[in-house]
Chain A
Amino acid sequence: MKKTLLFVYLLVIVAMVVSCAPAAVETAAPTQPPQQNAPTQPPASSGKQLVFATVVKSIAFNWFKRMETGVVQFGKDKNIKSFMEGPSQVDSAQQVQMIEDLIAQNVNAIVNVPYGVPENEPAQKKAIEAGIVVIGHEAATAKAGTLTYDLEAFDNCGYGEEMMKEMATRMGEEGKYIQFVGSLTNASHVEWMDCAKAYAEKNYPKLEYVARYESKEDQTVAYNTMKDVLKTYPDVKGVMGAAAGDVVGAGQAIEEAGLADKTAVVGTSIPSYAGELLKTGAVDLAMCWDPMTAGYAANVVALKVINKEAITDGMDLGVPGYEKIKLAKGPNGVDVIYGSAWIKIDAKNAADYPF
């Protein structure tokens, strides 16, 4: 009797799982079918068409779905067989396996967005030794020789300064401001904010830095912190956010306090997070980079290398945000190409960026 009960109980749980799962698949369905498992055609030797593969951390994110549109568009524009693939969950081991498979297929170029930069290095090196052009993205810390080039949407310092300019303008270039970082150990976040602060000290003497807070990548922490900041420093007029949820949490607190018009909130975020608050004006500006143009530009670099065109400082890749690239050496020796491809999203253009 008791066993039957237990069995029935487990059955109910399974039924719940099954009834939830399809719903989840429906909502998670991409706007266009993912192009994973691209047919393993014979490589370029059999035909004239070049084959470029883009490998990403995981195909399960809207972020990379957006990148895929750039990758596919590049293939159409340049008549190249260009496709994107990646594990269904972020996993370096599976990603490395995919690169190994692509080497075996002898593709012409691989664009890799590594989950773990060091874990992907040996496979990338092997691909280069096999004569394949390998372009990295979000991998500026890679070791020399493991990437032909790395392409970054922007350099961290420039991004932080741009964020400061946007906030300062909205504050009338005077008043107190605070900063949020996801964590004090997040190197990118801290670099954005350090550069923003240094830029303000040089250019906006009337801006006053109050403090930097850690949101622990948690929107609720940003919310609670902002509430207390408003009590402690009631005259704070500017807020900068580094993690995608920072301006959302801070914006909610400011909106609920009825201060949306008096406070400039500018920071990294994406429309699916900050869309509602951009509309109400609680968040003034969300900044990020568009994975679509990054995917496109990385493939352009691969094509230029294959066509034996030199990549030079200040050259135009023909992609928005990458019209005047900057060349530099990464911290571990890889050649890094920087664009200035940040995008600024406000209430008006939020609908143009569906991610």
Chain B
Amino acid sequence: MLNKILKTNEFIVFMILVGLSIVVGAINPAFFSLATLFDTLRGSIVYFIMAFGLLPIMISGGVDISFVAIAAVSSYATHMFLISRGYQGGVFLYFVIACVIGILMGLLNGILVTRFKLPVFDVSLATYTMWFGFNLFFIGATANFDLPKGTIGYYANFLLTVKDPFAGTTGLHESILYVIAIGLFMWWFLKYTTIGRGVYAIGGNRDVAIRSGFPVNRIMLIIFGIMGFMSAIAGVTMAFLSRNFNPVIFINQPLDVLAAIILGGAAITGGRGTVVGTTLGVLLIQVINRALILTGIPVEWQRLVVGVILILFTSIPALRERRMKRIGHTTEITQPG
């Protein structure tokens, strides 16, 4: 049992995360504090949500980048609509409207993929461009800082606050609860539901999945709907955390999320990937990004260093797999968990 855990991809990513943390902490002791943990979690919240939403699509063998555009349009359009109606209430209505828009937008991708048999990536490339363009042209081109009265202060709804040992205070934002709820749901969905098992089946071998009687098209529509839903939550959460609604929010971030999922052990060809791995992948990307400032590496070096670290870290699981193949295991058995 223990031996099995030690061999999982998640464990390796976890060890890398621990190793990196020790290195950073040795250079800057400020890294080992609750404040850093809270800051890192706050920076990761929206990436967790988006990554969880995207994970089933990756497992089914598709690569999607349009989820950031869905986050941008659903949040920005909701905001501009509510503001124009003089809405002054809380955040709940934002989430409701944005999620409906997000699900519909996700389903559009799903319909294009299933009805016209188009590759997921091609469809998402088109909708990514189209939706950002739609936002800029029809809804608005500038960031909007006018928030309804009921939502002001949302960014500071902390579950608990700690005194930062070095400077000021840091809080754990309540939206971490959404992350936990969504993470648990996705874990249950992928592991214990027929549809979730079907997602792995599709990613493993689509034809076999069809012959085994999985309703492949319906499954694809459901996971695209989930993606749209999660993207909308991420978009609205991000907007309230950064206190403005931006029509091109996340426009440069799809690769960060994809990288996190792949680091977490999902195969780009489908069939593999777990919630735990994705969680670790998101955290790893966050820590890599923060490590550079915390260790005082000059900004001119940052991009080079990030690239080198990514190459090193992504190659470790691949090397391991090659070794396993040499030993005689054909490949890992699809084992979500």
Contacts and interface: CB of A to CB of B under 8 A. Distances in A.
B265 interface: no
A231 interface: yes
Contact of B168 (A13, A214, A252, A257): A257
A245 B84 CA distance: 24
B156 A231 contact: no
A307 interface: no
Given A232-B30, A252-B242, A20 B77 contact: yes
B111 interface: yes
Nearest to B137: A89
A20 B299 contact: no
B293 A230 contact: no
B166 A231 contact: yes
Contacts of A235: 167
Given A12-B104, A252-B243, A62 B142 contact: yes
Contacts of A26: 84
Contacts of B85: 23
Nearest to A216: B252
Interface in B164-220: 164, 166-171
B35 interface: yes
B309 interface: no
Interface stretch (A166-174, A272-280, A298-306, A346-354): A272-280
A224 B296 contact: no
A19 B81 contact: yes
A229 interface: yes
A275 B152 CA distance: 14
A230 B299 contact: no
Contacts of B294: 228, 231-232
A212 B299 contact: yes
A257 B170 contact: yes
Interface in A205-248: 211-214, 216, 218-220, 223-225, 227-232, 234-235, 245, 248
B236 interface: no
Interface string A27-64: 11000000000000000000000000000000011100
A231 B81 contact: no
Contact of B111 (A9, A218, A224): A9
A211 B80 contact: no
A318 interface: no
B138 A21 contact: yes
Nearest to B243: A252
Contacts of B33: 231
Contacts of A254: 168
B55 interface: no
Contacts of A216: 252
A310 interface: no
Contacts of B252: 216, 218
Contacts, number: 129
B139 interface: yes
User: Among B81, B156, B302, which residue has the most Cβ atoms of chain A within 10 A?
Assistant: B81
A224 B166 contact: no
A272 B145 contact: yes
A61 B84 contact: no
B108 interface: yes
Contact of A213 (B143, B168, B242, B299): B299
Contact of A20 (B36, B139, B155, B169): B139
A224 B28 contact: no
For this complex, into which size category does the number of interface residues on chain A fall?
35 or more
Nearest to A89: B137
Nearest to A236: B167
Interface residues of B, number: 53
Nearest to B246: A219
A309 interface: no
A184 B298 CA distance: 12
B117 interface: no
Contacts of B238: 220
Nearest to A21: B138
B260 interface: no
A331 interface: no
B107 interface: yes
Contacts of A232: 28, 30, 293-294, 296
B225 to A, nearest CB: 12
B6 interface: no
Contacts of A187: none
B71 interface: no
B101 interface: yes
Contacts of A1: none
A28 B140 contact: yes
A28 B293 CA distance: 39
B39 interface: yes
A315 interface: no
Contacts of B289: 224
A61 B142 contact: yes
B299 A24 contact: no
A93 interface: no
A216 B171 CA distance: 26
A230 B290 CA distance: 12
A122 interface: no
Nearest to A26: B84
Given A13-B108, A213-B299, A231-B164, A27 B115 contact: no
A143 B185 CA distance: 61
A27 B293 contact: no
B166 A230 contact: yes
A273 B145 contact: yes
12 contacts: A9-B104, A9-B107, A9-B108, A21-B139, A23-B85, A61-B142, A213-B293, A230-B166, A231-B294, A256-B156, A257-B168, A272-B142
Interface of B: 28, 30-31, 33, 35-36, 39, 43, 77, 80-81, 83-85, 101, 104, 107-108, 111, 115, 134, 137-145, 155-156, 164, 166-171, 238, 242-244, 252, 289-290, 293-294, 296, 298-300, 302
Given A231-B31, A252-B155, A258-B168, 5 more contacts: A6-B115, A214-B299, A225-B293, A249-B242, A273-B143
